[in-house]
Structure 1
Amino acid sequence: MSEETRYDVWASTRGRLGHHLTEMGPSWVAGAVAAGPATMASLLTAGATFGYDLLWVVILSAILGATAQYLAMRLGLLTESGIVSVVESALGGKWAWLLVADVVLAAGLAQLVIMKTVASVSETVTGIDGRLWAVAWAVVLAVGLAGRGYRVIEVGAKVLVSIVVVAFLASALIVPLDSGAAVSGLVPTIDGGVDKALVAAGILGGAVHITLVTMQSYTMRAREWTRENYGLATFDIGASMLVAFGVYSLAIFLVAAGVLHTSGVQAAELTAISASQALGPLVGANAEWLFLLGLWGASVSTLGGNTVVPPYLVADKLGWETDVSDYRYRSLLAAVALLSAGGVFVGGSFFPLLVLVLAFGLVGTPFALVLVLYLLNKPDVVSVQNSRAANVGGLVLVGVTSVLAASFVREQVASGVGDPTTLFVLVFTVVLGSPTVGLGVKFGQEEVFA
């Protein structure tokens, strides 16, 4: 097998199935972050508010999510370095810092809202003040991650994602499916104003998010994977993002569209309690509690996975080790965990906030994707450049995420730029949009005149 074929987009997942099943892991951490409360909120909001209209986005999110992870995996394995180090070496420190800032901002905002979710659900389930829960969870997170490191996240991700997938899949098998409406939902359209654009961006943002793209190289390094693990890494992505996350997304969406959708449902008014009715066909009166426990588990697993992302990139940029053997990384990890307790003071209901956070993260994602695609085609960065199929997949990924992100920003601006949130989103878009376009032009010029 030639070097080019071995690392091509259609690379075989060589090895025993049993070995792959027991050794997979890094993409499950990304899958746990993707299958978190924000994605759950986006899917439930989409089904409850718009019925089957956004089914095409749900299916596309799993496919593009796996594509994004595949490209990130290729860059990580072929360079055997963290993405920030690769960007700095190939493009310079300014580009590396811009990537770090993009990730820290997107992941940091998500961390606060996810902690608000965990604290709110904890308060609902136990009756204990959410502020106390926020402090407690922050301490547990700091001690667990700073003490045990990566492995505790991976084990938790596999267990919690599997449980949530089974629960919603079982419910989806019971809910009646309107086949005619579902077929019409496969046609790509976004024509419902700011709410529909926001929810569509939120769904895709759950699967194709800058935190997921940038964390891949570091989680693989934590497992000490190299080029020799290419087949295993490919299998890992297929099992976690394409299958587990795809089933999770589709099941939740179909349940919401089949049970919750009525003409009076408003996206901004949907709450965790009303969304819990989605599990009614499966467990009846216990639907609320089962849903809240599922949301609780998804939130905790996502909180852990999301916490490590900013420290990974900052430590890499500063030349530190990206594991708990380095006290500086360990201290940074603990600090991020403890600071997340402040999320409990974020105003508003956490359900619409979760959707907004994902949509916001999607705005910063095309920049990371263009970086990855550019680096994968640089012969001085990777010894085996991308195949045509991988490049086409990457360009489609950049195009779709850019269109949905632009649709979200356009609808936000149309609602009025006087709102602080809208103004912040607009500034964020301009700051990241310029270098994204510039790098795309640079790539095109180098390819044409090479």
Structure 2
Amino acid sequence: MGKSLEEVNQSVSTQNKTTVFRKILAFFGPAYLVSVGYMDPGNWATDLAGGSQFGYALIWVLLMSNIMALLLQSLSARLGIVTQRDLAQASRETYSKFINYILYFLAEIAIAACDLAEVLGMAIGLNLLFDISLINGVLITVLDTFLLLFLINKGIRKMEAFIIALVAIVGFSFVFEMIFAQPEMGKVITGLIPTLPGEGALYIAIGIIGATVMPHNLYLHSSLVQTRKFDRSKKGILQALKYNFIDSTIALNLAFFVNAAILILAAATFHKAGMFEVAEIQDAHRLLEPMLGNKWAPILFAVALIAAGQSSTITGTLAGQIIMEGYLNLRIQPWVRRIITRLIAIVPAVIVISIFGESVTGKMLILSQVILSLQLGFAIIPLIHFVSDKSKMKGFHISRTTQIAAWLIASIIVSLNAKLVYSEIAGLLETSENPTILWFTVVPLAVSFLILLLYIVFKPFISKLKADILNHSPHNLKLQFSPAETYNKKDIAVSVDFSNADEVAINSAFELGGKEAKYTLIHVVETVGAMMYGDDIEDCETTIDEKLLEDYKTMLSEKGFKVETVLGFGKPNKAISDIINAGDFDVLVMGTHGHRGIKDLLFGTTVDKLRHEISIPLFIVKK
């Protein structure tokens, strides 16, 4: 499999650092690139709306979202560090092509929604600071693509330094905004107590969660941690996990401060003055100077907005590249990929602004964040499954406690989204003049996404249960070997597929060779991943098959037989013929029933191809 973000993969060495501080510093960076997604213009819109409508009451949602984000981002980093796969690559190895195409489509929608918020934020910032029209500001954001190309060509450390500088600008801007606004600290603390003060609060709260815990950041983080080159020993991996967690904690807490500052600014300025409908960034900018009595307040606000939009634009475009390459294994020129990503966001922004005017940008920003939240389940659930998998994580899987916490977070997010979708659809059906159209379009679509969500939740559990049932213990085999006087085969290959057909095949082989012959048991892993990556694949089925093959060898060796095992990968006829032709076998014995790993033997599909590709006799045994 190709490396994630190949141009910068393992480009930063963390080894040979003389002090602990230098080693920690070498790991710092990826989480800051991720953190900008937590303070992008979409967050500004939801935070402003939440603060102006409900005062300090929704600060707890920001805190809860930050805790969720910290756990999920640490899981994403763990996946990348341990498996050297990003989330999109891990999904492609696990699910079928059809499911992967759907997940890719949903991930691209999330990228488009995120990029839309960033494009609009940059355009609004340019409009506020330099009086450039929104349409022209949107078009100017195409230039971000070339800035990203320039930065990534200079190396990931240069890009990280640039992003950290922008994050610092945002942070310092809001330190001064807090000084200007002078919020009521008692109410700020009260806002940490969970409440939903009104019917519209749920919509805003879900928007805040969507704006904070962003699906594309899960893909991004699992890739960015692979830019570090470190010792791949157990000690080295544990050290990388620890330092990346510290990195994530610092970066995401900074993002929490920025989001809380925006919401507190809106509460202390607008809600306090009875202005409950300030959701537009432009309105907030216009009102800051007269309400705070300071000309620097709106200037710093606009500068911070541009810095946030610019930084999140760069990381969002990187996430788009990771998702396309990971899900589709499609590698195109980086500048082409980044132009496509940008156009997907720019085109709808230009169309909507042209038709409805500049006044709808706030609603577009909040809607984009709600869309992001609706996509979250389709990224979080596979991630939890992957990092809980003992074989995939090579012993670095998460603890039972962490699994429970992760599933609890996933349940909260999915439940809130389900409630929102149900409420919105129910409202549409009640108010629509022609609900029949909705019943045949919107409702089936929502149901189909629910089915997909249930599928990715339960598939790994069902697959594991089936594997436990189908991969029976080799000790259940009824071996009926009885001594004969003469044997003419000395080196016998036997194809096994861990079904009941193995009993017949192995017993038939014994009749040909007895205890004097050498037996080579061959099994072929023919998962999608095995066909694509051959013996480089590291999935659950391969691990199970390796163990079962070793169990066969142990049991037969204890009975006095000389046994070797070979695991093949890919299409059965090709894999088996390669193994046979590379060895010195007298005969190949194959069964014809229960073919988990070898398809259509009974009907001759594999046999017909195989018999022309090997130069030894092929002994087919029927059960």
Report the TM-score range of the alignment, normalised by the length of the smaller protein: 0.7 to 0.9
In terms of fraction of residues, the more helix-rich structure is: 1
| Pairing partner for 2:324 from 305, 314, 319 | 314
Matched, 1:215 2:220: yes
| Pairing partner for 1:102 from 103, 106, 109 | 106
User: Which aligned pairs between 1:358-377 and structure 2 lie closer than 5 A?
Assistant: 358-377=369-388
Correspondence for 2:529:
none
Larger radius of gyration: 2
Deviations 1:95-117 (A, max 9, x none): 32222111101111332343133
Matched, 1:273 2:282: yes
User: Which aligned pairs between 1:307-346 and structure 2 lie closer than 5 A?
Assistant: 307-320=317-330, 327-342=332-347, 343-346=349-352
Correspondence for 1:143:
146
CA distance in 1, matches of 2:452, 2:216: 19
Matched, 1:439 2:456: yes
> What amino acid sits opposite 2:406 in the alignment?
G
Gaps of 5+ in 1: 1-14, 322-326
**SS of aligned partner of 1:386:** coil
**SS of aligned partner of 2:362:** helix
Deviations 1:214-238 (A, max 9, x none): 2112222344566362222112111
TM-fit CA distance, 1:180: 5.2
| Pairing partner for 2:389 from 378, 385, 389 | 378
CA distance in 2, matches of 1:17, 1:117: 36
Matched, 1:86 2:86: no
CA contact (8 A) 2:47 2:262 kept: yes
TM-fit CA distance, 1:94: 2.7
Matched, 1:391 2:366: no
**SS of aligned partner of 1:284:** coil
Correspondence for 2:138:
134
**Mean Cα displacement is larger for which, 212-221 or 282-291?**
282-291
CA distance in 2, matches of 1:182, 1:428: 41
Correspondence for 1:8:
none
1:287–1:180 distance in 2 versus 1, CA, 3 Å? closer
Matched, 1:196 2:201: yes
CA distance in 2, matches of 1:177, 1:63: 24
Deviations 1:3-57 (A, max 9, x none): xxxxxxxxxxxx7235424541111111111111111221121111101221210
Deviations 1:320-354 (A, max 9, x none): 55xxxxx5344212332355432233235222221
Q: Across the two proteins, how many residue pairs are aligned to each other?
A: 425
CA contact (8 A) 1:112 1:346 kept: no
CA distance in 1, matches of 2:131, 2:391: 58
CA distance in 1, matches of 2:409, 2:299: 37
> What amino acid sits opposite 1:256 in the alignment?
A
CA contact (8 A) 2:51 2:267 kept: yes
TM-fit CA distance, 1:426: 6.7
CA contact (8 A) 1:205 1:362 kept: yes
> What amino acid sits opposite 2:325 in the alignment?
A
CA distance in 2, matches of 1:282, 1:427: 50
> What amino acid sits opposite 1:112 in the alignment?
L
CA distance in 1, matches of 2:210, 2:125: 23
Gaps of 5+ in 2: 1-18, 469-623
CA distance in 2, matches of 1:419, 1:400: 34
1:55–1:115 distance in 2 versus 1, CA, 3 Å? same
1:444–1:307 distance in 2 versus 1, CA, 3 Å? same
CA contact (8 A) 2:27 2:228 kept: no
1:438–1:320 distance in 2 versus 1, CA, 3 Å? closer
CA contact (8 A) 1:272 1:292 kept: no
CA distance in 1, matches of 2:219, 2:433: 30
| Pairing partner for 2:175 from 139, 156, 169 | 169
CA distance in 2, matches of 1:186, 1:286: 29
TM-fit CA distance, 1:173: 4.8
**SS of aligned partner of 1:188:** coil
TM-score, normalised with respect to structure 1: 0.84
> What amino acid sits opposite 1:143 in the alignment?
F
**SS of aligned partner of 2:295:** helix
> What amino acid sits opposite 1:440 in the alignment?
V
Correspondence for 2:416:
404
CA contact (8 A) 2:46 2:279 kept: no
In terms of fraction of residues, the more strand-rich structure is: 2
TM-fit CA distance, 1:427: 6.7
CA contact (8 A) 1:311 1:329 kept: yes
CA contact (8 A) 1:31 1:240 kept: yes
Correspondence for 1:324:
none
Correspondence for 2:165:
159
> What amino acid sits opposite 1:297 in the alignment?
A
TM-fit CA distance, 1:443: 4.5
Correspondence for 2:294:
284
**Mean Cα displacement is larger for which, 143-152 or 58-67?**
143-152
